[in-house]
Copies of this chain bind each other. A is one copy, B any other.
């Protein structure tokens, strides 16, 4: 209780002092709103990122096409120095050239599935009975030795489906937002631990050991194709990577992530002792000519003598998974950030500080694009050795939680920024953006900045069907994008960027984090 009181009192003191300088210019807000809400190009941008360029898996041809399009588009809008900036070595690119699978026994049924990222193809059409692998221990695997060459196999696992008693679609209720607003700052890395953590951990380690042994055996036995249960249902499947993208990755087996219904259908038949035969044809390509990773970078240069070397950065990750076109993860955030830049150019804004957009790659594999950009330009979170430029970034704003409109902002523990942002949100309260929460949110690129002491923020967004349908799924398509929400977000972010670039002082900073030695 005392802690929360202190935080509130602190916030109040800042609010008073911040109020005067942080009241947004009503005329500018009006211009930004008009451009963002009435002349939006958000859906055009999103169409190009998704439908036209396709999946944007790290280092895939689709990502390269989209990156080149973005550079061209940002240049056409008049941004300066739009280019691809190398951030280091990623590894191999990969894409699907063909996917087909169907049961042929007990009867024909085409299967909804997706090859796992970075897995090889079947080397032509294959057809085989399906073998169910049952193993409670590594020793159990011995019985399969010498019997699996060229076969299609699946593991004996998969739970019955529970259909959606709740709507797919969610917007935050006022009560939820109020709770968020009352949250106290968390220490970085704060996590709830479950009571029986050790027990669960032991079980998970055992499972992991069996899985690893199965995987090795299947590769050694040269199985034709592995079928894996995909989370999801009703035609929606969630996907991920099935193998390493490293240039020297060991060979693995071809692997399909199969939609829950199709997987469970086969599993029920096999468990009942009924033969299932499958025909499949999977082709995938690997790309290792240029294993480097790139971010898209472009700027609106600052114009104030004293401040033009300082910078406000906005961004979001540009890469996606492969089974759809990554519309909500994260064409949405990329679209909003590009549109925010377009709005600022359209109103012919000449900022004091430089404004930079950064569209990261390889976020999905570990925030590689943003982390390496930060490492190169601003400092090393492991040692906390910082560059002079670290001090020149007023703030980094990120968007990566789907298509939902902005409901507020996560302070990431930076309570001093709260009253400033409260003032900046005020002209957009009517659009549903009201909430300042001291809490952290994770899993995306603002963390790279936060880790070296640069104020890095991610906005609160309505969840929509992000968790139920779109996040890493085969249904993350243009259809999932909500035009009004993207417009709202771009308008608010353009205004935040405007305010950050013009503000006399930089956004206040938290205490510098401690150096983080490499994780065990």
Contacts and interface: CB of A to CB of B under 8 A. Distances in A.
A459 interface: no
A56 to B, nearest CB: 11
A328 B478 CA distance: 31
Contacts of A364: none
Contacts of A274: 52
6 contacts: A52-B272, A163-B169, A163-B479, A166-B167, A234-B475, A235-B474
A65 to B, nearest CB: 8
A265 B54 CA distance: 10
A164 B160 contact: no
Closest CB pairs A-B (n = 10): A235-B235, A54-B107, A164-B168, A161-B479, A99-B110, A261-B477, A234-B475, A235-B236, A165-B169, A100-B100
Given A161-B479, A261-B477, A268 B51 contact: yes
Contact of A268 (B109, B236, B269, B478): B478
Contacts of A167: 164-167
Interface string A152-172: 000000001101111111000
Interface string A51-75: 1111100000110000000000000
Nearest to A99: B110
A237 interface: yes
Given A165-B169, A168-B168, 11 more contacts: A52-B272, A55-B107, A99-B110, A100-B100, A163-B469, A164-B168, A164-B169, A234-B234, A234-B236, A235-B236, A264-B479
A110 B256 CA distance: 13
Nearest to A267: B51
Contacts of A181: none
Contacts of A269: 51-52
Interface string A457-482: 00000001100010000110111100
Interface in A76-102: 95-100, 102
A269 B234 CA distance: 26
Contact of A106 (B54, B97, B469): B54
A235 B112 contact: yes
Nearest to A281: B100
Interface string A230-255: 00011111000000000000000000
Copies in the complex: 2
Contacts of A168: 163-164, 168, 234
Given A51-B268, A109-B54, A167-B165, A479 B235 contact: no
A261 B479 contact: yes
A378 interface: no
A478 B268 CA distance: 10
Contacts of A55: 107
A108 interface: yes
Contacts of A53: 106-107
Interface of A: 47, 51-55, 61-62, 95-100, 102, 106-110, 112, 114, 160-161, 163-169, 233-237, 259-261, 264-265, 268-269, 272, 274, 464-465, 469, 474-475, 477-480
Given A475-B261, A478-B268, A106 B52 contact: yes
A102 B99 contact: yes
A352 to B, nearest CB: 39
A272 B47 CA distance: 10
Nearest to A161: B479
A122 B519 CA distance: 57
A225 B55 CA distance: 26
A61 to B, nearest CB: 8
Contacts of A272: 47, 52
Contacts of A480: 163
Most B-side CB within 10 Å, residue of A100, A235, A259, A274:
A235
Contacts of A108: 95-98
Nearest to A283: B108
A66 B264 CA distance: 20
B51 A163 contact: no
A94 to B, nearest CB: 12
A173 to B, nearest CB: 14
Most B-side CB within 10 Å, residue of A95, A167, A269:
A167
Contact of A237 (B114, B235, B237): B235
A272 B48 CA distance: 10
A123 to B, nearest CB: 17
Contacts of A112: 112, 235
Contacts of A265: 51, 477-478
Given A47-B268, A163-B469, A234-B236, A479 B110 contact: no
Contacts of A160: 479
Nearest to A269: B51
Nearest to A61: B107
